[in-house]
Amino acid sequence: MSETVLDVSDLEAGYEPGVPIVRGASITVNKGEIVVVLGPNGAGKSSLIKAIAGLVPISRGKVLLDGKDISTAPAHTMVRLGLAFVPQTENIFPRMSVEDNLKVACGILERRQAPARIDEMYAAFPDLLRQRRTPAGNLSGGQRQMLAVARALIVHPKVLVLDEPSAGLSPKFVSMVFEMLSAIRKSGVTILLVEQNAKAALAIGDRAYVLVEGKERHEGAASTLWDDPVVAELYLGQRPLRKDSARHTETGGAA
């Protein structure tokens, strides 16, 4: 087995004290993998990765990044520790140019390194180079996502964490985003992502977890997970695991 980059164990987290949304979730991400977290609406997928990124208070459990506990680290120190997070929405600075969006993320790099890293990002995402002077708020949905990912990648993270990168995009851009992530993985970056678009995510992923009611209920290879009847049951919520899970699968709520 390859080495573990991210090791989340028995994580409990939520916005309000005493109201956990993530309830004892454990997942691992190995070096070079794409790991996908799936689950019905309201399962706590987004809260799980926001907790990992330091944005949702953790009440129990550990998040180890390369063996180091980062569960109490403030959000702004995460990139320095090697964890780069791409939020689902509002993931760019709209009134700054594309180039300034990239530059502002270089704050933790040495000054001399920044121009080379920005050039690398332009080489990887030529669309951004063409639009470098454009205010980021004027970019198309797909290009925004590109910029958000480039902003996160620019610091050479140990793990790239994305919250529903395909949400709200038109079908053309959805496939573009997944191709982009696949290419990023090939360049050696480890990726953890949460997705609603299960089929497309599993197509590029190595392993996947199904999260239900804030806890992982199933884990497997991405290639076989889609056909697994247990997953269909958990994910589609056809037959609730416990009585009280029905309302989560039916009513959804904030993910």
Partner 1 sequence: MSLQFVVDGLLTGSMIGLGAIGVTLTYSILRFSNFAHGDFMAWGTYATLAVVGAIAAMFGKVAPIAPLSFGWPLIVALVVGAAFTALLALLLDKVLFSRLRKQEQAIIAVMGSFGASMALRSLLEFIFTSRPTYFSRAIQIAMPVGFGIRITPDQIALLLLTAALVLGVHLLATRTQTGRSMQAMSQNPALARIAGIDVASVVRVTWVIGAALACVAGVMIGVLVQIRPLMGFDMLLPMFAAAILGGIGSIPGAVLGGLIIGLAEAGAVQLIGAEWRAAVSFVILMAVLIVRPIGLFGVRER
- Chain residues that interact with partner 1, rule: CB under 8 A: 53, 55, 74-80, 85, 87, 90-96, 100, 103-108, 137, 151, 155
| Strand positions, DSSP E, the chain | 4-13, 22-30, 34-38, 58-65, 68-69, 83-86, 159-163, 190-194, 207-212, 215-221
For residues 108 and 246, which CB has a smaller minimum distance to partner 1 in the complex? 108
Cβ of residue 136: shortest distance to partner 1, in angstroms?
Answer: 9
For residues 96 and 124, which CB has a smaller minimum distance to partner 1 in the complex? 96
For residues 104 and 230, which CB has a smaller minimum distance to partner 1 in the complex? 104
- Which token pair is 22? 């993530």
Identify the three-state secondary structure at position 86. strand
For residues 55 and 198, which CB has a smaller minimum distance to partner 1 in the complex? 55
Print the SS3 string covering 114-163. Answer: HHHHHHHHHHHCHHHHHCCCCEHHHCCHHHHHHHHHHHHHCCCCCEEEEE
CA dist 25 to 22, 43, 63, 119, 219, Å? 6, 11, 11, 39, 12
Cβ of residue 104: shortest distance to partner 1, in angstroms?
Answer: 4
User: Directed axis angle between helix 171-186 and helix 141-153, to 10°?
Assistant: 20
For residues 8 and 49, which CB has a smaller minimum distance to partner 1 in the complex? 49
Cβ of residue 132: shortest distance to partner 1, in angstroms?
Answer: 15
Of 39, 54, 51, whose CA–CA distance to 14 is shortest?
A: 51
Residue owning tokens 């029905």: 246
For residues 4 and 97, which CB has a smaller minimum distance to partner 1 in the complex? 97
CA dist 222 to 24, 33, 174, 187, 230, Å? 22, 11, 18, 20, 14
For residues 160 and 222, which CB has a smaller minimum distance to partner 1 in the complex? 160
Cβ of residue 153: shortest distance to partner 1, in angstroms?
Answer: 12
Q: In angstroms, rounded to a whole number, what is the distance separating the alpha carbons of residues 230 and 241?
A: 10
Cβ of residue 158: shortest distance to partner 1, in angstroms?
Answer: 14
Cβ of residue 142: shortest distance to partner 1, in angstroms?
Answer: 18
Cβ of residue 194: shortest distance to partner 1, in angstroms?
Answer: 15
